[in-house]
Structures are given as structure tokens and as C-alpha cells.
Structure 1
Amino acid sequence: MTRKLIALDLDGTTLNAASQLNPTTIQTMQRLQAAGHIVSIITGRSYQGSQAIYDELKLTSPMINFNGSLGHLPHQSWDSEYQFTLNKAVVLALVKYREQLGINQIIAENKNSTMTAGQDIVAGKFFPEIADSPRLTPETLTRNPNSLVLLVQLDRRSAIIDWINERFGNVVDVGVWGGPNAILEITSKGVHKARGMAYLADHFQISRENIIAFGDEHNDLEMLQYAGLGVAMTNGTDEAKAIADDVTTYDNNQNGVARYLTDYFDLAE
């Protein structure tokens, strides 16, 4: 069979509701990798927040973090590694006006570092890497970050988005997390998961029609649309399901991705 690039979103897709991998998922991905396919994690998460999952899947492929802002090969140097960064000026403006705007916490991340300003009670649940992270200040921020996450007051969210777009809309994009938590993701303009996925496909000389992508949320839309076969989770947003070529029968708690791939590649024992 033609070699495929299998692009996996993590939260709400490859991971169950407890943010863990089911054994069936691990086994399926290893079988596909052993058969010669490229199985790659393409996530909004940081490297720190996804490395353990990469290792548990025993992947050997490059990984895309921060919604396309970083492409690298975990545990080794890769001469095709790339990164997109945000200008420090954007970060420092948000730090300066954080309280005034209604931003509870700002998290600035690079491949191997995390810095924070402020505090939010749900931050630790989604970003375990922020524990004991250094303070984000004009003095400590010495380089441009790959990614910026804002935990904001829900009633101030649209005003914060407008404020950022008015000042920096020509250089950054603002993504909104779904669900009850008011979380904004800021990336360099035009950077999204599909950029990272297309980069990997090009690197491995896999044509667009041989890409299979799985996702469930707003930050998966470009990836689902770009892939030859974009598959939304049945537990995904209406928007993701509308844009996708197909929808899984089973959700992320029922090994939806693994079952879909088992049928697609006819992996039945």
C-alpha cells in the first residue's frame, strides 16, 4: 500500500477524556508505523506537554507542536527542524496591560522553556509544564516565544481579541479554545497545524492525497481541510465535522481514531 502520513491531534482525538492513550491506540499506531507509514503528532500542546505521549506511542517521526509553530524530531537533532516565533513586543504589551485587559495568566513557551505572568486556577490542568516556571517580565523575556496562551476572563474575551487584532493583527493570529474555559492561543500570522503537516508531507515526499488527518476542534480545521482525507471525531465540534471528509463512528473514549484506521487499513487480526 502507498505510504501515508497519518496526522494525529491529541486532546479530544487520540487521547481519551482523561488525557491518556488507550492500549488499543498505542498498538494500532505501532502497527502502522511498522508497516512504513509516517505517524505524526500535530498538536497545540508544547513539547513538554506532549513528549510523554510521543514516547508512549514509541514514535520515530518528527512532531509538530504549538499548532504548527515548531517542527522537530524529539530526543535528537534534525537538520530539517523549523520554528515560527512571535515578536517579543506583542508579549510585553500584553504583560503590561494584563490586569487592565482582564487576562488572568499569560504563558509564553519555546521548545524547552515556559514563562508565566499572573495566575489562573485552570492553567495547571491544561499546562502542567507551568509548575515552578520562571516569571515572565520584560527583564526575563530574552527571546521571541513560539507560542503565547492567554487565560482570560470570559466576559472580556471578545474585547481582548479586538485589542490584540487592532494593534498586532498584521503579525499574529488569535485562536479561541472551545469549551467552557476562556483560553486564547496566539501564533505568528498564517501559522496553523496545516503548515506543519504540509511541511512533513513535503519532507517525506508524500502527496496531499496520501495524508490522513484526525481532529476535533477549531485549531484542526485547516489541517482537516488540507489533508487528502480529513477525519473529524464524532465528539468534535459541528464546524470540524462540517469541514471534514469523514467522521469517526466512535469517540475519543472508544478508540475512535484506532478503530477508524483499523478499518481503513484492514488491520483486523
Structure 2
Amino acid sequence: METKILFADIDGTLLNDQKEIPKENMTAIQKALDLGHYVVVATGRPLDSAKAVAKDLGLMMQGCYLIAYNGAIVYDCGNEKVLKKESLPLSYVKELFERAKKAGLYIQTYKGNQIITTQDSPELEAYRNHTKLSYQVVEDVFEVLDEEPQKAMLIHLTDKSKLEQFQRDNMEWQKGKCISLFSMDTYLEYCPPGATKAAGVDFICEYLDVPLKNTVAAGDERNDIPMLQEAHIGVAMKNAKEEVKACADYVTQRTNNEAGIAEVIEKFLLSES
């Protein structure tokens, strides 16, 4: 059996809607690792949040990797080291904060793995509950930031159209500076131009010397589409957005609440066919 790599999104894919890891997923992942396959957790979450999920999955070990911040960071779990890191220039982040303020939208960025924002708001509280990260609310973000962050993110909890309008209004500005993407209906993320999950797939394949034809990627949201298209087999979860299903090679019969990743592993990594 040839060595393969599984790239799996976290929310809506590895985790169920209660943000728990189905036991069947954990069992299937362990079987894949025992056979010598690699497992990569690919997420828009910051590195510490992704590491916490990997730890719960028992993936902080050799053969396991993380793609965090939508591809801005690639991390070796077994050797506990960052393999790749990209960032946004502070001038771009500052302009995003100014544009978000003008549009009346909440925005945050990161110092390492800590949330940095100017507003103590429902958006911040919801995001903190989701990621379990610490935070700072400050008057001037740029007096706190001492290095370039991996991304900035706008959040609106009730009206996705406001984020979509912001993205459209600033599409010309972002050209050559950064990319924008939705990781959830409530999250509009601005990342370095080379920070995509697809770029993470290419980097890890080259790093591990595993050909793309031996890769499988699974996800459910729009920021997963580049990863699904880059991998040899792109899998959309049954619960995925319709546009994600449209670009996938396979759609699972089980949702993330029914251990759909176990289905993916059994079909594409554990089967000889």
C-alpha cells in the first residue's frame, strides 16, 4: 500500500456540531497512522487553537502536521516546530482596521495566538467561545503589535451580506496585497497572498516527498475549496456548502455529526482499491 496523506478541515469536518471529536474518527485516524499514512489538520484557526484540537485527537506525534491560519503557518506536530510562516504587513492590517471601522464592522487580528481587537463585543465573545483563545481589547492595536500577524478577520454574527458587501467594496484595494475568503458565513478573513490550504497541501507533499496523486482532502466550507481542488481526491462532507460539493470528487454519505471523516479514511486510505 502506498503512503498517502489525508488533509482534513476541523470545524464541520473532523468535529461534530458540538465541537467534539467522534470516537469513530479517532479510531480511523489511528488506523491510518498505524499503516504509515500521514494526517494533516488544515484549518483557518490560529496555531494554538489547531494544536489543542490535534492534542485531543492524539495527533501531536510523528506523522502528523497542521496547516493553520488558512495556510499561513505549516507546523510539524511530531517535532513541534513551524515549517512555514507567512504574514500580513502591518500597513495592510492598519488599513483593514480603518476600512472596517468606516463600514461599522467588527475586526480583529492576532499577536502570536492571542486575539487583538479594539472592541469588547458579541463577535469577540462568540469567537473566543469557538477557539478558546486569550485576547486583548486595546485602544490602538498598532501600539500592541510588535510583529506582522498571519491574518485579520471581520465578523458579523447575523448578516452575512454586510461582510459580502465589504469584500466587494475592497476587492480592488486587496489586489496584490492579500486575499479574502469566507471560512464560515460569519467570518471574512484577510490573509497573505500565498496563504491558502492548497499552498499548504503543496508544501507538505514536497516536504514529505509524497506525490499529489496520493493525497485526499476533506472539508465543508468555501475556504476548503482550493484544498479540495489541489488534492488528488477532493471530498466534500455531506453537510458541506453546495458550492463545495460542486467542486468535489466525492461527497460523503455521512455528516460531520456521523463521523464522516471515518468514512473518508476507510474508503480512500484503508481500502486497497
Partner in structure 2 of residue 95 of structure 1: 97
Partner in structure 2 of residue 235 of structure 1: 239
Separation in 2, partners of 1:132, 1:261: 36
What pairs up with 1:244-259 in 2 under 5 angstroms?
244-259=248-263
Separation in 2, partners of 1:7, 1:266: 15
What pairs up with 1:113-124 in 2 under 5 angstroms?
113-124=114-125
Partner in structure 1 of residue 84 of structure 2: 82
Alpha carbons of 1:10 and 1:184: their partners in 2 closer, same or farther (altered >3 Å)? Answer: same
Secondary structure at the aligned position of 1:91 is classed as: helix
What pairs up with 1:173-184 in 2 under 5 angstroms?
173-179=179-185, 181=186, 183-184=187-188
What pairs up with 1:3-14 in 2 under 5 angstroms?
3-14=3-14
Separation in 1, partners of 2:34, 2:238: 27
Separation in 1, partners of 2:164, 2:251: 31
Q: What is the number of equivalent residue pairs in this alignment?
A: 263
Partner in structure 2 of residue 72 of structure 1: 75
Residues 191-227 of structure 1, C-alpha deviations (whole Å, 9 max, x = no match): 2101011111111111111001101110010110111
Separation in 2, partners of 1:6, 1:159: 35
Matching residue within 160, 165, 169 for 2:171: 165
Secondary structure at the aligned position of 1:133 is classed as: strand
Separation in 2, partners of 1:266, 1:176: 32
Identity %: 25
Separation in 1, partners of 2:6, 2:155: 31
Alpha carbons of 1:154 and 1:23: their partners in 2 closer, same or farther (altered >3 Å)? Answer: closer
Extract unaligned runs of 5+ from structure 1. none
Matching residue within 134, 148, 151 for 1:147: 151
Q: Is the 8 A contact 1:229 1:246 kept in 2?
A: yes
What pairs up with 1:105-144 in 2 under 5 angstroms?
106-109=107-110, 111-127=112-128, 128-133=131-136, 135=138, 137-144=141-148
Q: Is the 8 A contact 1:124 1:130 kept in 2?
A: no
Q: Is the 8 A contact 1:95 1:137 kept in 2?
A: no
Q: Is the 8 A contact 1:216 1:237 kept in 2?
A: yes
Q: Is the 8 A contact 2:120 2:137 kept in 1?
A: no
What pairs up with 1:182-201 in 2 under 5 angstroms?
183-201=187-205
Secondary structure at the aligned position of 2:142 is classed as: coil
Separation in 1, partners of 2:175, 2:113: 27
Q: Is the 8 A contact 1:120 1:151 kept in 2?
A: no
Separation in 1, partners of 2:47, 2:79: 13
Separation in 2, partners of 1:107, 1:239: 27
